[in-house]
Structure 1
Amino acid sequence: MTTRTSRRAGGRQARQALRAAPLAKETRPVRAGLEGGAYKPLTQAGMERIHQAALDALEQIGLADAPQSGIEIMTRAGAILGDDGRLRFPRALVEDMLAKAAKNITLHGRDPQHDMNLSGTRVHYGTAGAAVHMVDVDGREYRDSTVQDLHDAARIADQLDNIHFLQRPMVCRDIPDNRDMDLNSIYACVAGTTKHIGTSFTEPDFVDDGIELLHMMAGGEDKWRARPFVSNSNCFVVPPMKFATESCEVMEKVIAAGMPVLLLSAGMSTATAPPTLAGTIVQAVAECLAGVVYVNAIKPGHPAIFGTWPFVVDLRSGAMSGGSGEQALLAAGCSQMHQFYGLPGGAASGFSDAKLPDMQAGWEQMCSNVMAGLSGLNMVYEAAGMHASLLGFCHESLILGDDIIGQALRCVRGIEVTEDAVDLDLMRSVCLGGPGHYLGEDQTLSLMQTEYVYPTLGDRTSPKEWAEVGKPDLVQAAKTRKETILAETSRAHLDPIVDQAIRARFNIHLPR
């Protein structure tokens, strides 16, 4: 009996020591770039039919409203301008540009440890969107989002292990000038995180200033071009099947500046996209294939993400239904099409229709995040923090989303069946004369941190223990962690001399 007590005590101390010690990145149970692909809602025949239908759409329907510069670029490559002003794309042209397109790309962080390799079925989760409101969890209210809110979101994301990148999740509504808003969005994000950042430009004329700002942050144009740590989220099409003229002009300029591009097609099924899920994917694929032609006609092999982002409408009200099972299916189906072409891809998944971080938000975010990850989606955008069908962003929900994504990533990782994993020696030892449990065994202790994921805030105590510690509330726990993070100096702050030069050149709204 004495021996068994000692084993339990020793095991408990060993487990505590293991939990306290930080794990190397490669030994963590979940991490950026785990390979998914186990979930396949589309059959091979289904993908082939979608591909052929998308090619037919490009050849027969084409896209309208390309800027004159884009018309010249794409017709030189082989697109055909019709009398109706629509550009049509022969199959051979699309196939030629697919052959030239970048298949494996790296999105850089300011800190190289946050670099993301987008290839195959490697999965990464992050934020995105253009929410116009912030969720106040205390008052259960919505208010306009500000540049400080954006900066705080970047600082929080920087310290969450399962948030792998930060695409600007909200609009700085306290900055009425669009040029200033674009530049301050870049500044607020870069000064808040060293992870890869995605942002957008309102007008083509604002790009040059944005690139100048990034050169200053990077330490020069050469360093920026070597490791561009910000990408352009570009809604280059207005579904159905029209180019967004000014966004296309932005895209041409950022490509020349060496900035990676997210080719974003965001049709809404039954509204600006066909009513069937398969038809919605066809249109999104066709539009993004047009983007592949456009990008590679400008610069073959330029880093571009195949951004099929179709959404779902609740036909009872006409409102977006981002937390639906159909939304999760669309993201997973689009992921398969990215793999069909061998292109790095991204889609929206993990956001909620719920107005607050409640049970509805939890089931909606978990469902689509798991399905997107299992499908092998390279970039899972909107994965945490987004509410009210993209209208509201919540810092506390971003923190809680880190736990959700941790569990989703564990599902993505799957079960490794190795020789050691199914060896019976340990089972024999425990069952035939041993203690009758595995708690103190060496294998248990060695796998405790590498095989299992533990939520940071999720509560796994018994009801008795929960009551003894004051019945803690999950959202309040997230708020406390938010306040702790924001009480510290940003780990991504810019060099004071560089920051002073930036503030002398641009109208930066964030206080020092």
Structure 2
Amino acid sequence: MHRWSGSHTTWSVSPLVGLRPLFCELRGVRTVARGAAALLGRPAECADGRTGRRGTYGATRPVGPSCFACCRARSVSGTAHAAPTHPAIRAARRRGAGSARGARRLDPVGIGVEFRGDDEALELFRTAGSEVVGVRVRFEPGLARQLCSTAPERATDSIAMARIVFGAEYMASHCVIQGNVNVNSPLVWDDTMSGALKVYTGANQGCLISPFIIGGGMGPVTQPALIAQAHAEAMTGIALTQLVRPGAPMIYGNFLTTMDLKSGAPTFGTAESTLATFAIGPLARRLGMPFRCGGHYTASKVADAQAMQESADAMTPGLLAGSNFILQAAGWLEGGLTLRYEKFVMDADRCGMLHRLLEGLIVDDYELGASASSEAGPGGNYLATAHTMANFETANFESALCDARSFEQWSEEGSLDMAQRANQQWKQMLADYEPPPPLDPAVGRELQAFVDDRNAAVPDAWY
């Protein structure tokens, strides 16, 4: 089945059977699996030959300018390593990459969150005594953990609220909520992530186990080693779920991408990340696991050519690798730090095209169109044949945003590019939106009572 939920911008697609790139043949899969097993069985060594603490990839690592969730999660759990010493990072800083637009070092005992264009929020944090530099607010690790929605306490609240809506008996045998659980790469399961995993699994709810690795930052820069690490991290998380509750639903997740080794900035839609995606697919199938991969990822700040190139080259390989579940299918900009409605509807339009691609070809007498060939005849025109008339509405996917008119027609209509057409579309979509039926009043009151009780139980804090 192919299912797409526009409200959640997630995809569920059946794997394309038989897609086996040469570099992902069984011999290669076994080699990577052995590498993963080796990682699970011994501590790895960092680039200078020292053994990293707790079996990780070293006591030092480069931290780049857009170290969003990945690096922030490490600081949240209090496992951030010392300041970066990678020679490429040092060289970039000497060239001036340490400016506001270049590489920024993440404080090893805190994290920085940007509040661009929100002076009121910045002033609130400054008044409360937080360290504010430019548009960045520094958070203490413990505080950031409390704000983390995947923390065990938040997971417990989520399960409790879901039971109010669906009922405990129904949830005992049905998955109605899913936790997105990231390994604290490299090779660390901290109490925040593992705690949330145990809560969701114990309630028989789904877990998406996703190693979130940027090559050269939280894992090796070479793809085979990076793939082996990701496979090892995913397998340990899956094993933990089954120790908590055998048979609990989970998804083998994957988020592997690359880094600009001159600045430390994450990059998306690259050739190397595409190869890693194609290799991970057979590994997931070898375990018999549903597989998450792909998404319309980009580092671009606007919905431009870079955004669409990177997004297309990140999304399509995920589909071709056989993903069963695709997260972040629409809207991504600036490495996930921002969302723009124009990009959202552009991505959603492309999801429709990819949906059609996944349907594949049906080859039968009707699809071969012998009647159309007979009616048109040699040198004839097929546009007016009965076969064309019967299929003109469904034969091709019709994009709501692409413009195939002549230059003159396009000019007469205002010379709008795709981003401008997307702007018009999302505004019309919001104007036409009809809210879903309201929640049952009794359920709504019970949910509100739960929220009120939790608010009363949690002490007030400046955040």
Q: Same fold (TM over 0.5)?
A: yes
Instruction: Establish whether residue 502 from structure 1 lines up as the match of residue 447 from structure 2.
Output: yes
Structure 2 Cα separation of the partners of residues 417 and 208 of structure 1? 51
Q: Deviation at 1:257? A: 1.5
Conserved 8 A contact 1:351-1:390:
yes
Work out whether residues 14 and 324 of structure 2, in 8 Å CA contact, stay in contact via their aligned partners in 1: no
Unaligned 5+ residue runs, structure 2? 5-10, 45-52, 57-112, 122-138, 456-463
**How far does residue 289 in structure 1 lie from its aligned partner after superposition?**
1.0
* Aligned match for 2:178, one of 204, 212, 231: 231
Deviation at 1:453, TM superposition (A): 0.8
Cα drift, residue 462 of structure 1: 1.7
Q: Could you tell me how far 1:232 is from its partner in structure 2?
A: 0.3
In the alignment, which residue of structure 1 is the partner of 2:311? 365
Instruction: Give the CA deviation at 1:46.
Output: 1.1
Q: CA deviation at 1:343?
A: 0.8
- In the alignment, which of 445, 449, 472 is matched to residue 416 of structure 2? 472
The question of 1:33 aligning with 2:10 is answered no
Q: Equivalent residues in 2 for 1:315-464 (5 A)?
A: 315-422=261-368, 424-432=370-378, 436-464=380-408
1:221 corresponds to: 168
Give the deviation of 1:25 after TM superposition.
Answer: 9.0
Judged with a 3 Å threshold, the aligned counterparts in structure 2 of structure 1 residues 472 and 498 are, in CA distance, closer, same or farther, namely farther
**Cα deviations across residues 225-262 of structure 1 (Å, max 9, x unaligned)?**
34332200011x21121212221011111111221001
Deviations 1:28-77 (A, max 9, x none): xxx95354253635222211211122122223349xxxxxxxxxxxxxxx
Structure 1 contact 327–349 (Cα < 8 Å) conserved: no
Give the structure 2 partner of residue 206 of structure 1.
154
The answer to whether the 8 Å contact 1:217/1:494 transfers is no
Post-superposition shift, 1:365?
1.1
Q: Contact 1:325/1:368 (CA < 8 Å) preserved in 2?
A: no
Q: What stretches of structure 1 of length at least 5 have no aligned partner?
A: 1-23, 63-83, 88-131, 135-140, 147-172, 183-199
The aligned residue for residue 430 of structure 2 is 486
Q: 1:242 to 1:370 in 2, by over 3 A?
A: same
What is the CA–CA distance in structure 2 between the aligned matches of 1:289 and 1:295, rounded to whole Å? 10
Per the alignment, do residues 39 and 481 of structure 1 end up closer, same or farther by CA in structure 2, a change over 3 Å counting?
farther
Contact 1:39 1:374 in 2 (8 A): no
The change in CA–CA distance for 1:133 and 1:336 in structure 2 (over 3 A counts) is farther
Q: Which amino acid aligns with 1:463?
A: F
Q: Which residue of 1 aligns with 2:75?
A: none
Which amino acid is the alignment partner of residue 13 of structure 2?
Answer: G
**Sequence identity of aligned pairs in percent?**
21
Cα deviation, 1:370-396, whole Å, max 9, x if unaligned, reads: 221122111222222111122212222
For residues 387 and 181 of structure 1, what CA distance do their matches in structure 2 show? 23
The correspondence for 1:311, drawn from 251, 257, 262, is 257
RMSD: 3.6
Give the TM-score normalised by the residue count of structure 1. 0.63
* Alignment partners' CA distance in 2, 1:330 and 1:222: 41
Q: State the Cα deviation string for residues 276-299 of structure 1 (Å, max 9, x = none).
A: 111111100011111122111222
Q: CA deviation at 1:501?
A: 3.3
Q: Which amino acid aligns with 1:445?
A: M
Question: Shift of residue 366 of structure 1?
Answer: 1.4
CA contact (8 A) 2:372 2:388 kept: no
**Counterparts of 2:296 and 2:439 in 1: how far apart (Å)?**
31
- State the alpha-carbon separation in 2 of the partners of residues 227 and 456 from structure 1: 36
Aligned CA distance change for structure 1 residues 428 and 143 (closer, same or farther; 3 Å): farther
Question: How far does residue 359 in structure 1 lie from its aligned partner after superposition?
Answer: 1.1
Taking the aligned partners of 2:230 and 2:380, their CA distance within structure 1 comes to: 56
Which of 46, 50, 61 is residue 32 of structure 2 equivalent to? Answer: 50
**Mapping 1:42-441, distance limit 5 Å:** 42-61=24-43, 200-201=149-150, 203-218=151-166, 220-235=167-182, 237-422=183-368, 424-432=370-378, 436-441=380-385
Equivalent residue pairs, number: 363
